[in-house]
Amino acid sequence: MENNHSKPHAVLFPYPLQGHVIPAVHLAIKLASDGFTVTFVNTRAVHHQIVKSQSPNTAIEDINIFDGLRKSSLDIRYVTISDGFPVGFDRSLNHDQFWEGVLHVFPAHVDELVAKLVRSDSLVTCLIADTFFVWPTMIATKYNLVNVSFWTEPVLVFTLYYHLNLLRENGHFASPDNRRQDAIDYIPGVKAIKPKDLMSYLQATEVTTVAHRIINEAFDQVKRADFILCNTIQELELETISALQEKQPTYICNWPYIPPWFHEEHRSH
């Protein structure tokens, strides 16, 4: 597909987990429907997982997860990159090794790809990356792109991670002594919550794992984003969203997004 220099161009990086990829696909369709060119970047390993059981007679490298949109006018380019490991590497069995690679090795592959895209299209205007990535500020600054942090879970979860400093200061997380068990009632926009209802990572006694290092760095990074885009329903989290919007510009995606052409196509069947 040739470059269309009349449209802004967003580069979208979902986190390499299936539950993060699906909301990113919806976002790509929404942006393209609103006139963007979108380059959707998947890791080869996740791409392999998605398509290996769908088309047994087709070479996996020849499949585009947006193939169903080709008849539409949506300008979505699909590319895959290495996450630093062979496709056959068992990421579940070697969990910590894989996430260390995502933390330290994957950013170099991202940098190489974004540099190539920016050179090929002067209208690459923004980087949209999953909040759990640790490199968006560096990449966006290097290539002068708008830095958009895309959160795929409820805003309540985002807000608890966002205020890790308050949880630490009040002894509800990473406390050297016995952790407090009373209600947490000091997080902006969050009603009182019991410690046992926190996400599992915030209940852990060992907080120096690679997962905790990713969380700490990612939520330090997100505070430097130009704005945050959240995958939620605004009416369900009004108070929490309003409190977050006082901290940073925050916008909401009201899913599910179903493009108009989808209705037309299926009405005829």
* Residue 230, in any domain of the structure: yes
Q: Percentage of the chain surpassing pLDDT 90?
A: 69
Phi, psi (degrees; rounded to nearest 5) at 260 = -55, -40
* Residue 166, in any domain of the structure: no
Mean pLDDT, range 17-42, rounded to an integer: 92
* Residue 248, in any domain of the structure: yes
Helical packing angle, 155-162 and 210-221, nearest 10°: 90
- CATH code, domain with 90: 3.40.50.2000
Cα torsion angle, 14, 17, 23, 25, sign: positive
Q: Is 85 helix (H, G, I), strand (E, B) or coil?
A: coil
Q: Summarize pLDDT for 137-161 with one digit per residue, the tens.
A: 999 999 999 999 999 999 999 999 9
Residue-level pLDDT at 165: 95
Residue-level pLDDT at 62: 59
Q: Is the pLDDT of residue 183 over 60?
A: yes
Q: Is the pLDDT of residue 41 over 60?
A: yes
Q: Which band of pLDDT confidence, cut at 50, 70 and 90, is reported for residue 3?
A: very low
Q: Summarize pLDDT for 192-205 with one digit per residue, the tens.
A: 999 999 999 999 98
How distant is the alpha carbon of residue 217 from its chain centre? Answer: 14
Token pair listed for 196: 């046992």
* Residue 236, in any domain of the structure: yes
Q: Percentage of the chain surpassing pLDDT 70?
A: 85
- Quote the number of domains for the chain: 1
* Residue 136, in any domain of the structure: yes
Mean pLDDT, range 46-67, rounded to an integer: 70
* Residue 191, in any domain of the structure: no
Among the listed ranges 30-39, 44-53, 85-94, 206-215, which one has the minimum average pLDDT value? 44-53
Range of the domain at 72: 9-154+225-267
* Residue 62, in any domain of the structure: yes
Residue-level pLDDT at 19: 87
Mean of the per-residue pLDDT values for the chain?
88
Residue-level pLDDT at 93: 92
* Residue 110, in any domain of the structure: yes
Q: Summarize pLDDT for 202-243 with one digit per residue, the tens.
A: 999 889 999 999 999 999 999 999 999 999 988 899 999 999
